[in-house]
A and B are shown apart, each in its own frame.
Chain A
Amino acid sequence: MAKQLGRDQQGITLRGSAEIVAEFFSYGINSILYQRGIYPPETFTRVQKYGLTLLVTTDPDLKNYLNNVVEQMKEWLYKCIVQRLVVVISSIENNEVLERWQFDIECDKTAKDESAPREKSQKAIQDEIRSVIRQITATVTFLPLLETACAFDLLIYTDKDLAVPEKWEESGPQFVANSEEVRLRSFTTTIHKVNSMVAYKKDSFP
């Protein structure tokens, strides 16, 4: 009886941690797409997650695209070979990078499949994720307006010797020229730690 951990106290395994982080990315990217107006707001629907009302897209192509990325991320997180996920927002006309959302992932390589689950309550992780997502929502108050129609790109920084899977290609870092950076909150599952930050183009008028 004392040995049975309650559901919210079950330890975090490597696979569980990978799922939590991949799920966070899925909702985080959806939030960014909604808040920055990359896609029309009517195409988003509300779901309950992390005790918040989040907006996710209903567009089937976009959903498919994001699912591919998230599935791949889960795999790579499990193997601890992914270092960073970047959402690049660039103008469609001239491919100029306007905004860059960077999520750094620190993976504890000592955590293996067989090792004992780590102690951290689901609730604590949910609270941390909730703060990050709320911060992403609140960034609209200081990020400059995206005047032109924009498209987004997802970049993943992986270990050098990873075999490039089908559908993926190598790319450059796509930095924002003349950027202003803001560091956001981070969250950790004790196996993976995710730091977030956003870089945006400084307005040309001082």
Chain B
Amino acid sequence: MAQFVFEADLHGLLKLDTPIPNAPPARWQRKAKESGAPGPSPAAGVSPMKPANRSHSSSKTPSRTPGKSGSKIQSTPTKAGGDRYIPNRSTMHMEMANFLLTKENDPAEESPTKKEQQKAWAVNLNGFDIEEAKILRLSGKPQNAPEGYQNNLKVLYSQKATPGSSRKNGRYIPSMPDRILDAPEIRNDYYLNLIDWSSQNFLAVALDNSVYLWNHTSGEIIQLLQMEHPDDYVSSVSWIKEGNYLAVGTSNAEVQLWDIQQQKRLRNMTSHSSRVGSLSWNSYILSSGARTGHIHHHDVRVAEHHVATLAGHTQEVCGLKWSLDGRYLASGGNDNLVNIWPCTQGDSGDFAPVQTFTQHQGAVKAVAWCPWQSNVLATGGGTSDRHIRIWNVCSGTCLSAVDAHSQVCSILWSTNYKEFISGHGFAQNQLVVWKYPTMAKVTELRGHTARVLNLTMSPDGATVASAAADETLRLWRCFEMDPIKKKEKEKANSAKSSIIHQGIR
């Protein structure tokens, strides 16, 4: 431990912002030591609720960490001793005054080189030349935040599970996942989209440089591909609507198209210059978002696949989703912007966003279109933002915003119930189911031990799969349809078709 003491001493000597350790104690320090008893009437600005540990200072100077003897300032009473002459000493600069006073005792004449040296030291330590500049401070502090205001950051980052949130919600949602799958080597990168569930019930998972397919019905696992270079990795996966082709975006800027039945690569489309972190299909158009902020449209049927470029982001595009009717493309980026793009070019031949939303204060990766209300989009912000916002893209208004208190990585809407689910990170790594449009919390699904990275939904809409940094995939049966209700729905669907049949006959 001796080296820490030496280092601490050295630091203490070099930094001029702590009092000189061997100087005679200032009058107020001596007084505080003598009195020892709890101080005089509390000066302005100190609430009576905070007891000063003054009784301890006389017996022993407590130090925070062992061996740190350099800075004595931490051991003096918590409130710089006020007395009846000068009630509030916090506005005085004891250290500076002490230094200036004691400095006068030093000999005035010094050799020029020593002066140069001292000047160099002063510039180094203070960051500026004391002779050339001075520091001014506006006197009269502004009103501090009202008493009882606890710093918000501490509250939200140390949130414990709220007991009130577990009220009866009318249906039973199991709090444990249906299944837990192992996902070793999954990349813990917020900006990637590593899982997707096909309409043929295959779950594609990208684990570092390979992609595996998990058959939900049979449970078997197939390794679809592995990158040639060990340094490359898969950065996004996306199934085509029919479920027979899988688009794979890679760290070396390629967009690959794979046929599942034959397990062969059909195409390797290169047009980007940086990793492809997001993909989205619109029938035969595949859109890809890259780290440069560009979005490319690829027509997968033709040889010249790169048909359009959308430049609306200045940083990585992490969220990309075509609307269900194929009219709009929503993109979210690391530059905190959400852009809504039309499906056709404007008059000038260039694509320009019809809407740009700047309200998020963090990266927008969670982007999801509402299936039952057209033109309604849900977006979620990263660590700096933590809000979920619902937009009407035609009017450009924010319909509602709710603070989720944690980084939002993904949002999925459920048609079975008018709800949506969001995946979160620090501190609880939970999935939250919200009721729409009331934005009330239906339930929170806990279990992941590290931040949730991606969410995807099964083709029947009953199960949600979440991939997290704890290298597991959990399947939650949160949107299961009541079997009776299911039968009613099917009846309603079949009734419609029979009417049509009658008409045609």
Interface residues of A (CB under 8 A from B): 35-41, 46, 48, 51-53, 55, 59, 61-62, 64-65, 68-69, 83-84, 92-95, 127, 134, 137-138, 140-141, 145-151, 153-160, 162, 164, 167-175, 177-178, 204
Contacts and interface: CB of A to CB of B under 8 A. Distances in A.
With a 10 A CB-CB cut-off, give which of B96, B146, B361 has the most chain A CB atoms: B361
From DSSP, what is the main secondary structure of chain A's interface residues? Answer: mixed
A168 B138 contact: yes
Interface stretch (B149-157, B175-183, B245-253, B465-473): B149-157
Contacts of B146: 40
Contacts of A59: 143
A55 B361 CA distance: 10
Nearest to A142: B383
Contacts of A147: 151, 154
Contact of A177 (B18, B93, B149): B18
Interface string B108-138: 0000000000000000001110011111111
A172 B15 contact: no
A170 B50 CA distance: 30
B48 to A, nearest CB: 13
B468 to A, nearest CB: 18
Contacts of A84: 128, 133
Contacts of B131: 160
Contact of B358 (A53, A149, A169): A53
Nearest to A151: B144
B485 to A, nearest CB: 41
Contact of A170 (B136, B157, B360, B362): B136
B128 A170 contact: no
A171 B90 CA distance: 13
A39 B359 CA distance: 20
A169 B95 CA distance: 16
B78 interface: yes
Contact of A155 (B137, B142, B152): B137
A52 B336 contact: yes
A94 B384 contact: no
Given A159-B133, A204-B65, A154 B154 contact: no
The 7 lowest CB-CB distance pairs between A and B, nearest first, are: A171-B137, A65-B142, A37-B152, A37-B153, A53-B358, A37-B151, A53-B359
Contact of A95 (B11, B18, B80, B143): B80
A164 B136 contact: yes
A167 B139 CA distance: 6
B142 A158 contact: no
Nearest to B407: A141
B170 interface: no
B128 A172 contact: no
Given A172-B95, A173-B126, 15 more contacts: A40-B145, A53-B360, A134-B336, A141-B384, A145-B151, A145-B154, A146-B151, A146-B153, A149-B151, A154-B137, A160-B131, A162-B134, A164-B136, A167-B139, A175-B17
Interface of B: 11, 15, 17-18, 45, 50, 64-65, 71, 78-80, 90, 93, 95-96, 126-128, 131-146, 149-154, 157, 314, 335-336, 358-362, 383-384
Nearest to A72: B138
A138 to B, nearest CB: 6
Contacts of A134: 335-336
Contacts of B11: 178
B359 A148 contact: no
Given A68-B138, A93-B50, A170-B136, A148 B151 contact: yes
Contacts of B137: 153-156, 168-171
Contacts of B336: 52, 134, 137
B78 A168 contact: no
A38 B152 CA distance: 8
Contact of A137 (B133, B143, B362): B362
Contact of B90 (A35, A39, A95): A95
Contact of B71 (A151, A173, A177, A204): A177
A174 B90 CA distance: 13
A177 B138 contact: no
B64 A204 contact: yes
A15 B141 CA distance: 29
Given A146-B153, A177-B18, A172 B135 contact: yes
Contact of B132 (A95, A148, A159): A159
B133 A51 contact: no
Contacts of B96: 172
B51 to A, nearest CB: 11
10 contacts: A35-B384, A51-B358, A53-B361, A94-B78, A95-B90, A138-B362, A147-B154, A156-B135, A157-B128, A170-B137
Nearest to A39: B145
A181 B487 CA distance: 63
A83 B136 CA distance: 11
A172 B64 CA distance: 25
Contacts of A204: 64-65
B459 to A, nearest CB: 36
Nearest to A83: B133
Contacts of B149: 39-40, 149
Nearest to A65: B142
B384 A137 contact: yes
Contacts of A69: 138
With a 10 A CB-CB cut-off, give which of B50, B64, B152, B362 has the most chain A CB atoms: B152
Contacts of B152: 37, 40-41
A38 B145 CA distance: 7
Contacts of A171: 93, 135-137
A94 B79 contact: yes
A38 B271 CA distance: 46
Given A145-B153, A145-B154, A172-B95, A158 B143 contact: no
Contacts of B144: 92, 149, 151
B135 A173 contact: yes
With a 10 A CB-CB cut-off, give which of A84, A164, A177 has the most chain B CB atoms: A177
Contacts of B383: 140-141
B176 to A, nearest CB: 31
A61 B142 contact: yes
Contacts of A39: 145, 149
